[in-house]
Structure formats: C-alpha cells, structure tokens
Amino acid sequence: MVKSIEWVDGKVIMLDQSKLPFEVTYITCTDYLMVAEGIRKLRIRGAPAIGIAAAMGIALAAQDIHARNSAQFMKAIEPVFHEMLSTRPTAVNISWAVERLKKVIKSKRDESVSGLKQILIREAQSILDEDIAVNKAIGRWGAEFIKDGDTILTHCNAGSLATGGYGTATAPMLVARDQGKKIQVIADETRPVLQGARLTAWELMQENIPVTLITDSTAGSLLRRGEIDLVIVGTDRTARNGDVANKIGTYPLSVLSRENKVPFYVAAPFSSIDFSTASGDRIPIEERSPEEVTHILGIYPIAPKGVKARNIAFDVTPHKYVTAIITEKGAFKPTDIRKLSRQNVDLDSIRLKR
C-alpha cells in the first residue's frame, strides 16, 4: 500500500508528493517544524492526510518538550498547536486534529509528562489507523458495485496519497482487486493541477492496477462508447440533500454518466458529510490563481502573455446525477443522506445493495 505518512521510531516519514511522479523522495521529519513545512509546501496534501500529519507533528513536538508537570507541558505545547493551525488555515482536518489532541491531554491532567508524550503518539497513530479503517470500510461497501472485468473511471486524486492509506475513491478499487476481481482504471488528468496525471496514475501503477491516462474531455467519448462500467470519485463536502462538491470537472462527468446510463458513485467518509448545509448551492466554491491555468505545473506557459483566465477549483454535482454515496457505514442513495443524521437510524433499511 502506498503510504503518504508514517510514524517510525520516533520520527515522521513523509512521502514528498510535490516531487511526484518524477521523483519518489521520503522526508524524515525529526522535528515538528519539518512536518509543518511539509504541509505548507504541499509535500503532503489531501484533507485526511494533512490532518494526520498535523497530529503526528504535534506528537513529534511533544517528545522534545522538557517540562516538570502536565501544566508546564500543556503551556509548552500550545505554540505547536498554533504553528500547525497556521500551515493551511482553511483546512478543517487540521483544526479537527489539533482539537482532538488538545482534548485528550486536557482530559489527562493527572498523567506524568512522559505519559502525556506517549498518549499523544498513540492518539496520532489512532487518527492514522482510524482513517485507514474508514477507507477500508468504504472500500468494502464500494467493491460490491464492482464486477470482475470492470473498467472504472476516476477524477482527480482521492487515493492513498490524499489519506492515511487506501484512499476514498480508490479504496473500492483496491478491495475489488484484493477480492480477485480483474479491473482497470481510466484516470482523468484533472487540469489545472493535474492530480490525476501526477498522483492517481502513479499510485495505481504502484498497486499494479492497470491504469490509462486521458485528458479530462476524453471521458465523454469513452462513456458514450460504453467503455466505462462505472465512475467513482471522491468529494470534499456532501450537503444534506446529497449534492456533492468535488474537484472541477466532476459535475460534467456526472452529467455524461447519466446521459450514457453509467453509474456514478461518490466515495465520502462520513466526516465529510455536512448536515448543516442544506444543498450544494450553499457550498462556497474557491477560485484560485489564474496562473494554474496559464502555466502548467506553475512553470510552463501555454497561453498568450496577459490573457485573462478563470480558475474555478471545485464544482457542485446535484444529487440527481449521483447513483450512490459510499461511506464507511454503507452506500446510500443521495436522497437518503439526510436520514443518516438521525439518532437510531436503521442503516440496513436504507443501505443500497447491488
């Protein structure tokens, strides 16, 4: 399994994704500032992965703290929380990880300093382990929709690299492969930042899953020709009504899939469902620097100097185009997502079966 980050012998080993796929370099972080720099410089990216990295960075910082008691320890670790929060201020998973670690040490005021240090390592490791467990569960539910011989289309990177391991959209592929099903994957390159070409293609090659790279606008032809059996993409946020926000280009794929009667699945960890947002139209959509469009990989110009460009980073896929949303609790019709917020919901009664 491709590992984006690991805790090994008191150090954090991070795969430098900013150099992929041209160089495979692992960085051994011996202090938390190296971890923070890795997050800031996008050496590690993907919502779950950077949450794990922040937690591991805090655990790493803890080991170097000299304190006589838990009160001193908590005071000493406070700047580390701030440093981690400052790396990518809008990343929900980082603030979630920081809060979780804060809470655990606050609940252990009577613990010795060395005890607290161990607790933080265990907690960071738990965050990683839980993420992998969630993804494997998504994989098991999702693999039910994959038949032997299927060709799966995916967009962007919702793979091992974006998570602690297994990925979200890739998890059903890995589980299906482990179940002995022969599959192949078509990966959209995903302009402008090319996560499909650089990351998804690379990680599926590491997993020995046959992968073919296409430009984003080639997917429509393959769908029309009947060369795609199903589509699986990830999501950044799912609204209460089952609308999903994901990398730009997801919405066109969903429309083309429905038009050609190809099932369109969204892999979404339960934590990415935002029950407080009524519909996708309420999800704020980030517009990023035009240079990502006018320059490839931030370096190579492809357009006239001074041309105006627009770089809408995400799009919203209305729930009517989504066949099912696959979570660690099961696969559900998008219109059933709202029911998941209820106490004592009978999951079995609403789970979608193949």
Residue nearer to a copy of itself on the CB measure, 140 or 198: 198
Residue 293 as a binder of a copy of itself (CB under 8 A): the answer is yes
Strand stretches in 74-128, DSSP E: none
Residue 211 as a binder of a copy of itself (CB under 8 A): the answer is yes
Q: Three-state SS for 20?
A: coil
- The nearest distance, CB 47 to a copy of itself, in angstroms, is 21
Rg of the chain, C-alpha, whole Å: 21
- The nearest distance, CB 179 to a copy of itself, in angstroms, is 23
Q: Of these, 191, 237, 240, 319, which contacts a copy of itself (CB under 8 A)?
A: 191
Q: Is 18 exposed, middle or buried (0-12, 13-18, 19+ CB in 10 A)?
A: middle
CA–CA dist 86, 138 (Å, integer): 31
Q: Is 173:2 a contact under the CB 8 Å cutoff?
A: no
Active site residue 236: yes
How many residues of this chain interact with a copy of itself, rule: CB under 8 A? 55
The two tokens of residue 212 are 């073919």
Residue nearer to a copy of itself on the CB measure, 138 or 156: 156
Residue 169 as a binder of a copy of itself (CB under 8 A): the answer is no
> φ and ψ at 74, to 5 degrees?
-65, -35
Residue 217 as a binder of a copy of itself (CB under 8 A): the answer is yes
Q: Of these, 210, 275, 286, 335, which contacts a copy of itself (CB under 8 A)?
A: 210
CA angle 223, 227, 233 (to 5 degrees): 60
Q: Three-state SS for 269?
A: coil
Residue 279 as a binder of a copy of itself (CB under 8 A): the answer is no
Site for a copy of itself, rule CB under 8 A = 21-22, 188-192, 194, 197-198, 201-202, 205, 210-222, 224, 248-249, 251-252, 255-256, 259, 290, 293-294, 296-297, 299-312, 315-316
